[in-house]
Amino acid sequence: MLGVVIFLLMMATAFLGYVLPWGQMSFWGATVITNLFSAIPLVGESIVTWLWGGFSVDNPTLNRFYSLHYLLPFVTFGVVFLHIAALHVTGSNNPLGIDPKGPQDTLPFHPYYTAKDSVGLIVYFIVFAALVFFAPNILGHPDNYTPANPLVTPPHIVPEWYFLPFYAILRAVPDKLGGVILMGGSIMILFVLPWLDTSPIRSMRFRPLARAALLLWLVSFFVLMYCGAKPPEEPWVLIARIATLYYFAYFLVILPALGAKERGLPLPASISMPVLRGGGPLPAGAMAKPMEKA
C-alpha cells in the first residue's frame, strides 16, 4: 500500500512538473486536471479556487506548483524509506509466491541482486539516453512550445503519455463526477487489492484462469492508453467504456470470484526445487562470500 502511495506521489510530481514549462499544453492540462476537483459536490468550487490561488490558473498557481514539484520528491523519498522498513517486516515475495524454507531458498541481496539489477539499470539507461539524445520531443507535445495563452484553447488537450489510460477512463464516463470517481478509483482500488484477491495461492503461475484474466487486464490497460490519445468520439468512447468496464470487473468481480472458485496447480515444495532442478545443494559460499569481500 505504501507502493501505491509512492505511485500517487510520482503521478502528482510528474503532473506538477509538466505545468512548469508554462506552454499551452501545460496551462490547459493544469486547467483540466485542477477542474476535476470542482466535480466534488458542495466544496468542489472552493477547493479549486484554493488550489489555484485565484479564480483561474495563473501566476500564483505556477508558483505553488513549482514549490510542490520541489517538495513532493522529498516526501516520496521518505515514503520509500517506510517502504523498505515495511519490506523488512514481511520479507520480499518471489515469482513462485511461496515462503523460503531454509538457506538454500534465499540469496543475499549483495552481490547477487546488485549485480543483476545493474544489468537492468544499464539497459534502461540505454533506452533513456536514446530518447534524450535522439528524440527529445517524441513524447512531448508540439503545442507546449507555444507559450501559455488563456485565450486560446488547443483543439485537443491530451495529458502526458503515462496518464493516458486514466484520462481515457475519465472521458469514458458521461457524467463529470462519475468520471472523476472512476478515474480516482482506478488507482485507489489498488489499496484494497489484498482483500479483493482472496486466493491462498500468491503466484499467478499456478492460477491459469487468473493469469489469463490478468493478461486481459493488461490488454485493457493498453487499449485505454490508446483511446486516451484519441479524440473523444466514436468508436473510441465505446471501446474505452468496454475497457474501463473490464478494468474494474477484473478487480471487483473476477478476482474475488476466482479466489473462491479457482483450484490452482500444485505448488512446488520449495523455491530451490524448480529453480535449481532438484533442490540443489547450498550454493558454495553463498552466505559467506559477501562478508569476505567486505
Give the CA distances from residue 73 to residues 78, 79, 80, 147, in Å, rounded to whole numbers and listed in that order. 9, 10, 10, 27
Q: Is 197 a catalytic residue?
A: no
Which of 41, 155 has the CB closer to other proteins? 155
Give least dist CB 165 to other proteins, A: 14
Give least dist CB 265 to other proteins, A: 24
Which of 76, 144 has the CB closer to other proteins? 144
Rounded to whole angstroms, the Cα distance separating 247 from 221 reads 7
Task: Say if residue 115 is exposed, middle or buried (CB neighbours under 10 Å; 0-12, 13-18, 19+).
Answer: exposed
Rounded to whole angstroms, the Cα distance separating 283 from 294 reads 19
Give the CA distances from residue 80 to residues 10, 76, 108, in Å, rounded to whole numbers and listed in that order. 11, 6, 21
Residues binding other proteins (CB under 8 A): 107, 111-112, 115-116, 118-119, 122-123, 125-126, 129-130, 132-134, 136-139, 142-143, 145-146, 155-156, 158, 161, 229-231, 233, 276, 283-286
Q: Is 110 a catalytic residue?
A: no
Which of 122, 291 has the CB closer to other proteins? 122
Q: Is 234 a catalytic residue?
A: no
Task: Say if residue 232 is exposed, middle or buried (CB neighbours under 10 Å; 0-12, 13-18, 19+).
Answer: middle
Rounded to whole angstroms, the Cα distance separating 193 from 243 reads 19
Which of 9, 158 has the CB closer to other proteins? 158
Give least dist CB 239 to other proteins, A: 14
Give least dist CB 130 to other proteins, A: 6
Closest by CA to 147, choosing from 21, 23, 19, 29, is 23
Q: Is 230 a catalytic residue?
A: no
Q: Is 92 a catalytic residue?
A: yes
| Catalytic-labelled residue, pool 45, 56, 110, 116 | 116
* Residues labelled catalytic: 88, 92, 116-117, 160
